[in-house]
């Protein structure tokens, strides 16, 4: 089985325009919008994105791993004691699912396959 590496980080944001202004002016990050509720960033050292959220943001970071075979990895996570918190779904560019580890940390796994 291949490596499953951290590939992307996703944050929550209460205002996408303000968050884009903040990070682009401070650090030179570049943004690409995917509809009114999501913007992806690059030129940060690790690609990621911000999802618009109306909820109070407590822990706004979601670490996203990459793996070619989502169903196989999903089963392995279950066998190892993890929990699937969001079943496999499609998004522009691929598919992904979310899981929690035995301590309750939520991560996501995506694939372009």
**How high is the pLDDT of residue 62?**
94
In the chain, CATH 3.10.180.10 sits at 1-61, 67-113
| Residues 74 and 4: beta-carbon distance below 8 Å | no
The label of the residue with tokens 């990070």 reads: 23
Residue 2 has pLDDT above 80, yes or no: no
Residue 95 CA to residue 91 CA, distance in Å, equals: 6
Which runs of E-coded beta strand occur in 1-113? Answer: 6-13, 30-33, 38-42, 48-52, 61-66, 83-91, 94-100, 106-111
**13-31 pLDDT, tens digit each:** 999 999 999 999 999 999 9
What phi and psi values does residue 57 have, to the nearest 5 degrees?
-90, 115
**How high is the pLDDT of residue 1?**
54
Pick one of 3.90.1010.10, 3.40.50.2300, 3.40.462.40, 3.10.180.10 as the CATH number of 67-113. 3.10.180.10
**How high is the pLDDT of residue 102?**
85
Q: Which CATH superfamily is domain 1-61 in?
A: 2,3-Dihydroxybiphenyl 1,2-Dioxygenase, domain 1 (3.10.180.10)
**58-84 pLDDT, tens digit each:** 888 999 999 999 999 999 999 999 999
């Amino acid at each position: 089985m291949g490596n499953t590496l951290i590939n992307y980080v996703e944050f929550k944001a209460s205002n996408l325009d303000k968050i884009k202004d903040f990070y682009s002016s401070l650090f030179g990050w570049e943004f690409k919008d995917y509809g009114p509720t999501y913007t992806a960033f690059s030129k940060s050292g690790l690609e990621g994105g911000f999802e618009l959220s109306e909820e109070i943001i407590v822990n706004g970071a979601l670490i996203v791993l990459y793996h070619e075979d989502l169903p196989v990895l999903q089963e392995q996570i279950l066998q190892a004691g993890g929990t699937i918190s969001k079943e496999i779904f499609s998004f522009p560019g691929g598919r992904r699912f979310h899981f929690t580890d035995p301590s309750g940390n939520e991560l996501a796994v995506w694939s372009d396959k």
